[in-house]
């Protein structure tokens, strides 16, 4: 006899409470309360193939309330993904496939890493935007090779986080009709009943964003949920929020509808009582065969993918160039002529020898690469004219009559939302997004940058106005500690180029990355072009190199960005005084740190005193100069004044650097 809907939903409840209990850690309440929502979506409406989690046209699923991860793990296990019962038993254990919060690349079927609330729904906006743009770029009449939905589970916490406003507002503006979110309206957060701190009229809030809102759905009524999903899919111009009234921890006789089941195991006695209350007589981690059969989606998933493969074969026969391009982009591969493009761009920039702001040099690099990389999707958080993230031939993203077009996004003043939407775009596949703001305002987005590095995405964050060099706007806009903060994020490459050549090399390196995001840091003010040999140009990509040398150097000057020219001039002054100085340009400390010991020693020889020069806080540089070295930097906040006056005031002059270097030599 086939398993009932009640049995199918209760399998989720049982796995959630058993796994959390065994781990003695976790959140059973959300999975138990959302079991029927999971059944309606994964059991009846979502299109996926458990045997190929990377199928290009699968529906995307994001559990934004990632603390309830056992809901997703239970769904993956039951529907047939490579998530075994042993994996369920190892919930939250060392190197398991089932970590405390869902992590992309760890668990088959997990599309993005969630946990920090509000960020999953924001990633999902990126997924849905990618689908809509790819469909516009590749679909042909009768051959819709890009046609899938993005589904999101989210809770009160996601809605309280400000990033949800940033992202959901844009989703409405962009008309992302294939984005469908399920709000788990259970009225509980860790501190208890939310009416003391969350009284928003959520349906009206989302209606004001331009969403289609389906309010008042019983989150435990599968038929009602199926009807809501059908209505959401029928919507052709708006994203949909399905408001699901649920009971957190449903089935638990004594802890349901309270925060007692939110973030702690139910306890053995309560689990036994729950088993009896829901009619689940099975032992821990035991799932009956009929329940497995009721959940199994391997055959249906394989059939859905086979149907799409047939469609794609027809597409490829009629449009072979487009099919090849779609395949390349979804694989994240660069075009075959990529290295030739880089060589040409570097040679042209070197020949021009321009003294310009590196933000302009950045735009020139984008101009060199973007026309040859249609996957590049630029943007800025309301600062396009300052960040210079647009290029000749770029067009602003716009939606007209339900049709979307463009390759440059005006995100508005939404640095955090922009950065996490970019993460979603990368994770979906088909795009290499980059987005800009002032370096100071990376502070709004740091958690998104950290998540990009953790998830091994390869998107590109563009930051301009990189120091006191922006001048009169004053200390509120002058970054001092931000460079060091970014450099301390594991798996983040940070580049601060000194001129046009270093800028184009930094861009090329960022584009070539497959599993590492990059932060590219550029100046507002003009920076002097530095002459180099071919060998020096080749070594830029190693993160640091000898820009100016002297026979038997007595001191090494290390500098980045705008301070490189100061170091060069200081070396010239030192030479005039009989002191031999080597100048090392270090545009990327992170990349330099990955080089072999022999190369690092050739750049920074042992036994020679070192002086670092950078318009930023100084402690970071101790790892390079040692206790016996020195740093010319800024350990206070800036001031409001013209940039030249500020650089002189804070000691970024050739005279001061030379004097500090002489002191080291003595």
CATH number reported for the structural domain that contains residue 491 in this entry: 3.40.50.970
Express each pLDDT in 172-184 by its tens digit.
999 999 999 999 9
**Residue partners of 412: CB distance under 8 A and separation at least 6:** 170, 381, 382
Say if 325 falls within a structural domain: no
> In whole angstroms, what separates CA 287 from the centre of its chain?
37
Q: 462 and 492 share a domain?
A: yes
Q: 473 and 375 share a domain?
A: yes
Q: Which two tokens stand for residue 462?
A: 């563009």
The fraction of the chain above a pLDDT of 70, given in percent, is: 100
Residues facing residue 584 across a β-bridge: 546, 558
**Residue 402 has what pLDDT?**
87
Q: Which residue has the tokens 């040099």?
A: 361
Among 342, 407, 340, smallest CA distance to 374 is for 407
CA distance 101 to 67: 6
Return the H-helix or E-strand segment holding 446: helix 446-455
> In whole angstroms, what separates CA 608 from the centre of its chain?
40
- Average pLDDT of every residue of the chain: 97
Residues facing residue 91 across a β-bridge: none
Say if 228 falls within a structural domain: yes
Give me the number of domains the chain comprises: 3
Say if 331 falls within a structural domain: no
**Residue 506 has what pLDDT?**
98
Predicted confidence (pLDDT) at residue 1 exceeds the cutoff of 90 = no
Q: Residues marked as binding?
A: 27, 67, 115-117, 156-157, 186, 188, 262, 359, 386, 441, 465, 473, 477, 524
Q: 297 and 350 share a domain?
A: no
Express each pLDDT in 495-535 by its tens digit.
999 999 999 999 999 999 999 999 999 999 999 999 999 99
**Residue partners of 54: CB distance under 8 A and separation at least 6:** none
Predicted confidence (pLDDT) at residue 666 exceeds the cutoff of 90 = no
Q: 366 and 486 share a domain?
A: yes
Express each pLDDT in 285-340 by its tens digit.
999 999 999 999 999 999 999 999 999 999 999 999 999 999 999 999 999 999 99
Among 225, 239, 220, smallest CA distance to 181 is for 239
Q: 568 and 440 share a domain?
A: no
Among 498, 484, 528, 477, smallest CA distance to 619 is for 484
Confidence grade of residue 613 (pLDDT, cut at 50, 70, 90): very high
Confidence grade of residue 541 (pLDDT, cut at 50, 70, 90): very high
Say if 51 falls within a structural domain: yes
Q: Tell me which of 527, 553, 576 is where a domain ends.
A: 527
Predicted confidence (pLDDT) at residue 81 exceeds the cutoff of 90 = yes
**Residue 18 has what pLDDT?**
98
b/e 369-390 (16+ beta carbons within 10 angstroms → b): bbeebebbbbbbbbbbebbbbb
| Residue 236: burial class (beta carbons within 10 Å; 0-12, 13-18, 19+) | exposed
Q: 209 and 354 share a domain?
A: no
Q: 446 and 485 share a domain?
A: yes
The length of the chain, given as a count of residues = 666
Rg of the chain, C-alpha, whole Å? 28
Q: 190 and 262 share a domain?
A: yes
Q: 36 and 167 share a domain?
A: yes
Cβ-contact 260, 3 below 8 angstroms: no
Among 449, 439, 588, smallest CA distance to 524 is for 439
Say if 533 falls within a structural domain: no
Full 3-state SS string of 471-489: HHHCCCCCCCCHHHHHHCC
**Residue 502 has what pLDDT?**
98
| Residue 346: burial class (beta carbons within 10 Å; 0-12, 13-18, 19+) | buried
Q: Residues marked as binding for thiamine diphosphate?
A: 67, 115-117, 157, 186, 262, 441
- What are the residue numbers of the active site? 415
Express each pLDDT in 471-480 by its tens digit.
999 999 999 9
Q: Tell me which of 480, 503, 527 is where a domain ends.
A: 527
Say if 98 falls within a structural domain: yes
The residue range of the domain holding 99 is 5-302
User: 3-class DSSP state for residue 661?
Assistant: helix
Say if 321 falls within a structural domain: no
Q: Tell me which of 527, 554, 575 is where a domain ends.
A: 527
Say if 322 falls within a structural domain: no
Q: Residues marked as binding for substrate?
A: 27, 262, 359, 386, 465, 473, 477, 524
Q: 152 and 89 share a domain?
A: yes
Q: 353 and 476 share a domain?
A: yes
Q: Residues marked as binding for Mg(2+)?
A: 156, 186, 188
Predicted confidence (pLDDT) at residue 387 exceeds the cutoff of 90 = yes
Q: 494 and 588 share a domain?
A: no
């Amino acid at each position: 006899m086939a398993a009932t809907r009640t049995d199918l939903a209760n399998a989720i409840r049982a796995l959630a409470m058993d796994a959390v209990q065994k781990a003695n850690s976790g959140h059973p309440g959300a999975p138990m309360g959302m079991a029927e929502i999971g059944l309606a979506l994964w059991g009846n409406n979502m299109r996926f193939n458990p045997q190929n989690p990377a199928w290009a046209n699968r529906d995307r699923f994001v559990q934004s309330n990632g603390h309830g991860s056992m809901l997703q793990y239970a769904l993956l296990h039951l529907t047939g993904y490579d998530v075994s019962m042993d994996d369920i038993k190892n919930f939250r254990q060392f190197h398991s496939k089932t970590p405390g919060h869902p992590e992309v690349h760890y668990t088959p079927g997990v599309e993005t890493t969630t946990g920090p609330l509000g960020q999953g729904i924001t990633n999902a906006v990126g997924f849905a935007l990618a689908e809509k743009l790819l469909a516009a770029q590749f679909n042909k009449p009768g051959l819709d090779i890009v046609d899938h939905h993005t589904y999101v589970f989210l809770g009160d916490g996601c809605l309280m986080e400000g990033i949800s406003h940033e992202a959901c507002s844009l989703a409405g503006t962009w008309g992302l009709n294939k984005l469908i979110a399920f709000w788990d309206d259970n009225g509980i957060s860790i501190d208890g009943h939310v009416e003391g701190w969350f009284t928003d009229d959520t349906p009206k809030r989302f209606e004001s964003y331009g969403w289609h809102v389906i309010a008042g759905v019983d989150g435990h009524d599968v038929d009602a949920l199926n009807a809501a999903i059908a209505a959401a899919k029928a919507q052709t111009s708006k994203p949909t929020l399905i408001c699901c009234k649920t009971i957190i921890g449903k089935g638990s006789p004594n802890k349901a509808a309270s925060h007692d089941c939110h973030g702690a195991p139910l306890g053995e006695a309560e689990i036994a009582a729950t088993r009896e209350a829901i009619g689940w007589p099975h032992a821990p981690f035991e799932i009956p065969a009929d329940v497995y059969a009721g959940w199994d989606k391997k055959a249906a998933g394989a059939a859905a993918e086979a149907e799409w493969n047939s469609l794609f074969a027809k597409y490829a026969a009629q449009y072979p160039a487009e099919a090849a391009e779609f395949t390349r982009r979804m694989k994240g591969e660069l075009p075959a002529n990529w290295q030739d493009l880089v060589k040409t761009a570097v040679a042209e920039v070197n020949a021009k020898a321009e003294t310009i702001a590196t933000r302009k040099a950045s735009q020139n690099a984008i101009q060199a690469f973007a026309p040859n990389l249609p996957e590049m999707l630029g943007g800025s958080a309301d600062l396009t004219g300052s960040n210079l993230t647009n290029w000749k031939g770029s067009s602003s993203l716009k939606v007209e009559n339900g049709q979307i077009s463009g390759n440059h996004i005006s995100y508005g003043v939404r640095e955090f939302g922009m950065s996490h939407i970019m993460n979603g775009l990368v994770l979906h596949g088909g795009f290499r997004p980059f987005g800009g703001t002032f370096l100071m305002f990376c502070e709004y987005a740091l958690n998104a940058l950290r998540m990009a590095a953790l998830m091994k995405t390869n998107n590109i964050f563009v930051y301009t106005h990189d120091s006191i060099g922006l001048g009169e706007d004053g200390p509120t806009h002058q970054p001092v500690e931000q460079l060091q903060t970014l450099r301390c994020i594991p798996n983040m490459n940070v580049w601060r180029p000194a001129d046009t050549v270093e800028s184009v090399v930094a861009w090329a390196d960022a584009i070539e990355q497959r599993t590492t995001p990059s932060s590219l840091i550029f100046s507002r003010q003009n920076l002097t072009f530095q002459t180099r040999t071919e060998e020096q140009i080749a070594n830029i990509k190693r993160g640091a190199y000898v820009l100016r040398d002297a026979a038997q150097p007595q001191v090494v000057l290390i500098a980045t960005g705008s301070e490189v020219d100061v170091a060069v001039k200081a070396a010239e002054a030192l030479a005039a005084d009989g002191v031999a100085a080597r100048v090392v340009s270090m545009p990327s400390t992170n990349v330099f740190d990955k080089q072999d010991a022999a190369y690092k020693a050739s750049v920074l020889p042992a036994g020679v005193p070192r002086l670092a020069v950078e318009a930023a806080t100084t402690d970071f540089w101790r790892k390079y100069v040692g206790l016996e070295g020195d740093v010319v930097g800024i350990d206070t906040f800036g001031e409001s004044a013209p940039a030249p006056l500020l650089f002189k005031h804070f000691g970024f002059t050739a005279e001061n650097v030379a004097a500090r270097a002489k002191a080291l030599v003595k």
